[in-house]
Amino acid sequence: MPAYAYVFLLCYFSPSYAPKRMERQIGMAIKFLLPEDRIPTAWYNVAADLPTPPPPPLHPGTLEPAGPQDLAPLFPMGLIMQEMSSDRMIDIPDEVREIYRLWRPTPLIRAARWEKTLGTPAKIYFKYEGVSPAGSHKPNTAVAQAYYNKKEGITKLTTETGAGQWGCALSLACQMFNMECLVYMVKVSYFQKPYRRSMIRVWGAEVIPSPSDTTASGRAILAQDPDSPGSLGIAISEAVEVAAGRDDTHYALGSVLNHVLLHQTVIGQEAIEQMELAGAYPDAVIGCVGGGSNFAGIAFPFLGQNLKKGKKTRLIAVEPAACPSMTKGCYAYDYGDTAKLTPLVKMDTLGHDFIPADIHAGGLRYHGMAPLLSHTYHLGLVEAQSVLQTDAFAAGVSFARSEGIIPAPESSHAIAAVKRLADECKESGDEKTILFNMSGHGHFDMAAYDAYLDGKLEDYAYPEERIKAAMKNLPKL
């Protein structure tokens, strides 16, 4: 054996080195996994445990509370019943759980390296939803929605997509149930995110940039502004118009509605069990909010523990300063779309004619917040914060350099809020346990990361005057 090998072996097995090596090998557990049979068997409906029921949706014509029949042109009865249900637990069909097995249960991970980087005494855990085929939490509801539509004989679903994640999730789900899928993709994103568009096509769906000339709503917008960049509100109008005009076609929404939030509660239910495995319980649960579904998905099961078991976990929803529906918007009845085709729902809103600034967290640019989440917010059961996009990217990059995973820009908003709280713990010496939802990975958002790393990202806070002006256009009740 050559001399250097002896030196190496001597160093390697020397008593001063050995303990360090042992520590590295044994380490502390950082990944908490559940077996497949622990995929939840029912979704949790927080409405059953709230002190007052959320205000009902209203028919856009009569302004009376909308009944199941009013929603029937767009949704299957199975989902409408969930939308209006006050049952606490709603069984997950075996066919849906069978598909969940492709990526669920998702891992819960202790961000131990990032804790060290931040120098915080806080313990930080995250639930990682980026392991789904589409790379986000959205397939949790897409699969359920496709299933209930298929069961009632629907052969085609239409939808809108902003950044492309929801379009991906629904095209994947439709493919699994052998259904057709038509996606209206907000025009700026269609050109900014070509690979999300490609994925939608690989999963067999048709994708059209919105506003388009394929619908009356799209043509009306184009007549006013031929260069319209589009918005989720406009794309929803187009998708709803197509679905309402055909018997074999329904519409699917990726967030905001009660049944969407319901389907996402598999996240929080798994997390409760995994935190138990970790021997910890969160003092704070944090998630980013666009329409509110991934946050509600992780937070509502913990809210249930607060309400039923007297736990005191803080639940913090984090939105971009450029689209501040909870922190700056108005809690009022408003339309879900620009062309006023949807029922009126009471929600935190920036107005249905909102055209968002061109921030990179595409999934966080909707004008309204889920009515059920808005309701819990105004009951004082959840908190809201806003984050500037450069702070979100800074936190996301710091996280990626410690934990490896590159977060979706949306998830980075949650990460920035976690960092805020972890920094407070550093000041106070508090050893808080923080859990956040990592809603997805950012592999298709690399242009945005480049812009950040090249110092080209600008911060933007939505101006108060624009909010005041939009409030004048809210429906008068």
Residues making contact with ligand PLP (CB under 6 A): 136, 138, 165-166, 255, 288-295, 363-364, 408, 410-411, 439-440
Nearer to ligand PLP, 306 or 439 (CB): 439
Nearer to ligand PLP, 291 or 301 (CB): 291
Q: Smallest gap, in angstroms, from Cβ of residue 75 to ligand PLP?
A: 17
Q: Distance between CA 196 and CA 355 in Å, rounded?
A: 22
- 87 three-state secondary structure: coil
Q: Which two tokens stand for residue 70?
A: 């009013």
Q: Which two tokens stand for residue 23?
A: 């520590």
Alpha-helical (H) ranges within 226-382 are 232-244, 258-263, 265-277, 293-309, 371-378
Q: Smallest gap, in angstroms, from Cβ of residue 295 to ligand PLP?
A: 6
Nearer to ligand PLP, 217 or 255 (CB): 255
Nearer to ligand PLP, 293 or 305 (CB): 293
Q: Smallest gap, in angstroms, from Cβ of residue 261 to ligand PLP?
A: 8
Nearer to ligand PLP, 70 or 337 (CB): 337
Q: Smallest gap, in angstroms, from Cβ of residue 46 to ligand PLP?
A: 15
Q: Smallest gap, in angstroms, from Cβ of residue 161 to ligand PLP?
A: 9
Q: Smallest gap, in angstroms, from Cβ of residue 385 to ligand PLP?
A: 14
Nearer to ligand PLP, 308 or 443 (CB): 443
Class of residue 223 by CB neighbours under 10 A (exposed 0-12, middle 13-18, buried 19+): exposed
Q: Distance between CA 154 and CA 293 in Å, rounded?
A: 24
Q: Are 47 and 372 in contact (CB under 8 A)?
A: yes
Torsion of the alpha carbons at 263, 266, 269 and 275, rounded to the nearest 10: -140
Nearer to ligand PLP, 167 or 282 (CB): 167
Nearer to ligand PLP, 249 or 255 (CB): 255
Q: Smallest gap, in angstroms, from Cβ of residue 442 to ligand PLP?
A: 8
Class of residue 319 by CB neighbours under 10 A (exposed 0-12, middle 13-18, buried 19+): buried
Please list, in sequence order, all residues whose beta carbon lies within 8 angstroms of the beta carbon of residue 36, skipping any fewer than 6 positions away: 101, 104, 105
Q: Smallest gap, in angstroms, from Cβ of residue 440 to ligand PLP?
A: 3
Q: Are 318 and 286 in contact (CB under 8 A)?
A: yes
- C-alpha triplet 100, 279, 104: angle, nearest 5°: 5
